[in-house]
């Protein structure tokens, strides 16, 4: 089988497959942004309108989101302020990251199996762990993914192409990754340190540290006056206990199935479960594979050990989190597949290896197609709510739903401004606007999730599937009873 077309067409094929593999989701009637994605969509809208430069996810001093905001803003003139624009922008970022992942594999080790890098990259594309997250705008995750792959590529390019600027950029990118989502640094730092010191040139380390220092200073200036409304600790040493180690296989599996929203795990196809089981098994078997590689003394064993440590530290890091968020293991896919590539690249029985990899890709195709039905919320029901509110000529609402408020504002294109219960929120202007409208008798309403046990006898309407209710011109006593806070002013 010829491989002459690889240099010319491989990157193009990878880019096309990244898009085609996501078309079932993009064209699905179930396509929908969750509340956090709507926040980033609104951030991009404000940036496009020149209202704001949202460096970080609203209300946070972490989750560097400006790059994602810029990408989304590029798609708004093409597709309007819409969920499809947000998803396509994120998919573009992910695709660029995947391309750099492939290019890194090509230069990280002497190629013995000419198909291995290409097939491993296709597995990355079709593995369900990134089925949903390849298009999620969630405050820095895809920024960290993109720049991690670019950084890794820069660390492995040939010595003749390396210079002060390359290593300065590496240092700067390490800072951006940390500010975006530090989860990726757990696995990236061992690789970066190994590559920097393997050159045995202290000046390269100095250039890298210079880039990091400049990056730290820039972010210090950016973050000086940024709101820090939401600041949970991802890592918590007090959360560690031995039982967390026992749960690692389950956490790897849950992350690999890819079908979850926050901490809620959704149903998946049997093929997806099989893939998650295979990938989890391979990850758990890595110590055995590394030992065999070490005994055979084939290829770049030092890098194998470093990447094994990257995988190990990425997996073990979840033992000091709350353990309930499968997304915390998203970085595992890239580091594990990089290591798999090094382990299989020099196996003599290339045909057997490639058939196995091809089988995984076929299963991945079937799995990804099943995600066309992925939905944890009802978009038609939300649109029905928005139309009902607009039919009542209401422009501002008190929202009994912390994420619902953002969905209403994004999908109404801010024709409806909403606020949640607290008098302080991620984007304080919304609190002020709704309260001002209420005080000036501008049409204001109350919306929330309908609960038949919580009688809302004076609801103006309840959406068809009885998910949301709306009350026009609620009194202040009702709002207070519902838990809404008002400032002393």
Per-residue pLDDT tens over the stretch 391-416: 999 999 999 988 999 999 999 999 99
Task: Provide mean pLDDT across the span 52-56.
Answer: 92
Alpha-carbon distance values, 268 to 30, 80, 125, 363, 364 (Å):
15, 32, 18, 14, 13
Give residue 19's pLDDT: 97
Task: Give tens-digit pLDDT for 316-325.
Answer: 888 777 657 8
Task: Give tens-digit pLDDT for 423-478.
Answer: 888 999 999 999 999 999 999 999 999 887 776 656 788 888 888 999 999 999 99
Distance CA 106, CA 10 (A): 11
Give residue 1's pLDDT: 44
Distance CA 277, CA 118 (A): 23
Q: Which helix (H) or strand (E) holds 77?
A: helix 66-79
Question: Between residues 319 and 387, which one has the greater pLDDT?
Answer: 387
Task: Provide mean pLDDT across the span 48-58.
Answer: 93
Read off the DSSP letter of residue 239: G
Read off the DSSP letter of residue 267: P
* DSSP string across 369-428: HHGGG--SS-HHHHHHHHHHHHHTT--EEEEE-TTHHHHHHHHTTTSSEEE-SSSS-SSH
pLDDT grade, residue 230 (50/70/90)? low
Residues in Cβ contact with 258 at an 8 Å cutoff, skipping those fewer than 6 apart: 127, 128, 129, 130, 131, 132, 133, 268, 272, 371
Range with the poorest average pLDDT among 22-36, 91-105, 189-203, 386-400: 189-203
The yes-or-no verdict on residue 18 having pLDDT over 70 is yes
Read off the DSSP letter of residue 225: T
Tokens of 70: 């810029």
Give residue 348's pLDDT: 78
Read off the DSSP letter of residue 56: B
The chain-wide mean pLDDT, for the chain, equals 89
The yes-or-no verdict on residue 33 having pLDDT over 90 is yes
The yes-or-no verdict on residue 315 having pLDDT over 60 is yes
Phi and psi at residue 200, to the nearest 5°: 55, 35
Task: Provide mean pLDDT across the span 12-40.
Answer: 95
Give residue 106's pLDDT: 93
Give residue 234's pLDDT: 62
Residues in Cβ contact with 121 at an 8 Å cutoff, skipping those fewer than 6 apart: 14, 98, 101, 102, 105
Q: Would the pTM count as exceeding 0.75?
A: yes
Give residue 82's pLDDT: 96
Instruction: For Cα atoms 435, 441, 447, give the angle at the middle one, nearest 5 degrees.
Output: 60
Give residue 488's pLDDT: 63
Give residue 197's pLDDT: 84
The number of helix segments (H) and strand segments (E) in the chain equals: 21, 7
Range with the poorest average pLDDT among 127-141, 222-236, 315-329, 463-477: 222-236
Give residue 264's pLDDT: 82
Give residue 172's pLDDT: 97
Query: Cα Rg for the chain, rounded, in angstroms?
Result: 24
Give the sheet arrangement for strand 417-419, strand by strand: 417-419, 396-400, 444-449, 468-472, 461-462
Torsion from C-alpha of 467, 471, 474, 478, nearest 10 degrees:
-40
Q: Which of 71-75, 237-241, 282-286 shows the highest mean pLDDT? A: 71-75
299 with 284: CB under 8 angstroms? no
């Amino acid at each position: 089988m010829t491989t002459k077309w690889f240099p010319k067409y491989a990157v193009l094929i990878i880019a096309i497959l990244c898009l085609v593999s996501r078309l079932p989701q993009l064209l699905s009637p179930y396509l929908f942004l969750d509340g956090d994605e709507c926040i980033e969509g609104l951030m991009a809208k404000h940036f496009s309108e020149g209202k704001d430069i949202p460096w970080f996810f609203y209300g946070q001093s972490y989750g560097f989101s400006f790059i994602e905001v810029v990408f989304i803003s590029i798609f708004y003139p093409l597709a309007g302020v819409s969920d499809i624009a947000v998803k396509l922008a994120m998919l573009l970022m992910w695709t660029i990251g995947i391309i750099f992942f492939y290019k890194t594999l090509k230069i990280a080790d002497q190629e013995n199996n000419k198909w291995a890098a290409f097939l491993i990259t296709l597995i990355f594309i079709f593995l369900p762990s990134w089925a949903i997250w390849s298009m999620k705008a969630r405050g820095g995750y895809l920024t960290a993914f993109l720049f991690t792959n670019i950084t890794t590529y820069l660390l492995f390019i040939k010595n003749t192409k390396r210079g002060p600027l390359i290593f300065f950029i590496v240092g700067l990118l390490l800072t951006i990754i940390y500010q975006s989502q530090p989860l990726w640094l757990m696995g990236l730092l061992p690789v970066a340190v190994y590559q920097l010191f393997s050159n045995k040139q202290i000046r390269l380390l100095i250039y890298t540290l210079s880039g990091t220092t400049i990056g730290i200073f820039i972010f210090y200036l950016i973050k000086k006056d940024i709101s820090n409304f939401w600041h949970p600790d991802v890592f918590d040493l007090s959360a560690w206990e031995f039982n967390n180690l026992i749960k690692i296989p389950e956490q790897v599996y849950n992350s690999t199935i890819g079908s979850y929203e926050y901490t809620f795990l959704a149903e998946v196809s049997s093929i997806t479960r099989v893939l998650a089981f295979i990938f989890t098994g391979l990850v758990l078997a890595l110590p055995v594979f590394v030992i065999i590689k070490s005994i055979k003394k084939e290829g770049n064993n030092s890098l194998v050990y470093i990447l094994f440590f990257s995988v190990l530290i990425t997996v073990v890091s979840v033992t000091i989190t709350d353990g309930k968020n499968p997304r915390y293991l998203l970085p595992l896919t890239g580091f594990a597949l990089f290591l798999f590539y090094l382990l299989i690249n020099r196996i003599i029985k290339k045909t057997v290896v490639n058939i196995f990899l091809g089988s995984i890709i076929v299963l991945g195709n079937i799995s990804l197609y099943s995600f066309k039905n992925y939905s944890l919320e009802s978009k038609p029901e939300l649109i029905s709510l928005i139309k009902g509110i607009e039919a009542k000529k209401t422009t501002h609402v008190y929202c009994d739903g912390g994420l619902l408020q953002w969905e209403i504002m994004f999908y109404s294109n801010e024709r409806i401004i909403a606020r949640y219960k607290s008098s302080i929120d991620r984007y304080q202007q919304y609190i002020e606007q709704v309260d001002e409208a209420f005080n000036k008798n501008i049409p204001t309403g109350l919306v929330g999730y309908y609960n038949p046990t919580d009688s809302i006898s004076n609801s103006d309407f309840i959406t068809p599937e009885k998910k949301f209710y709306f009350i026009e011109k609620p009194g202040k006593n009702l709002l207070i009873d519902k838990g809404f806070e008002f400032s002393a002013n």
